[in-house]
Amino acid sequence: MNRFRHLFAALLVGGLLRVLLACQTPTGFEAFRGGLSWYNDELAHLNYVRHLVEERAFPEKVGSVKAPDAFRRGDFEYYQPPLAYLAQAPAWMLGERIQPGMGWLAARLLEIVFSLLAIAVARSIAHRLAPGTGDAVAWMLALHPGLAYQGTLVSNDPFFWLLAALYLRTVLELPRNGPSWPLFPLAAALFLTKSSAVVLLPLPFLAVTPPLVDDFRPRRPCWPGWRPRPPGTCATWSCTTASWPWRRAMAPPTWSATPCTTSRSSR
| Residue 90 in this model has a pLDDT that exceeds 80 | yes
pTM score: 0.76
Q: What was the pLDDT predicted at 165?
A: 94
Give the three-class secondary structure for 53: helix
DSSP state for residue 91 in the 8-state scheme: H
In this predicted model, what pLDDT tens digit does every residue of 186-244 receive, in sequence order? 888 998 898 888 888 778 777 666 555 455 544 444 444 444 444 455 555 555 555 55
**Of the given ranges (11-20, 32-41, 94-103, 210-219), which has the lowest mean pLDDT?**
210-219
Query: What's the pLDDT score for residue 31?
Result: 54
CB atoms within 10 A of CB 56: 8
- Could you read off the pLDDT of 120-174 as tens digits, one per residue? 999 999 988 888 888 999 999 999 988 998 899 999 999 999 999 999 998 888 7
Exposure pattern of 45-55 as b/e (b: 16+ CB <10 Å)? bbbbbbbbbee
Residue 114: name the closest of 80, 76, 147 by CA. Answer: 147
Domain boundaries along the sequence of the chain: 1-155, 156-251
Gyration radius of the chain over CA positions: 20
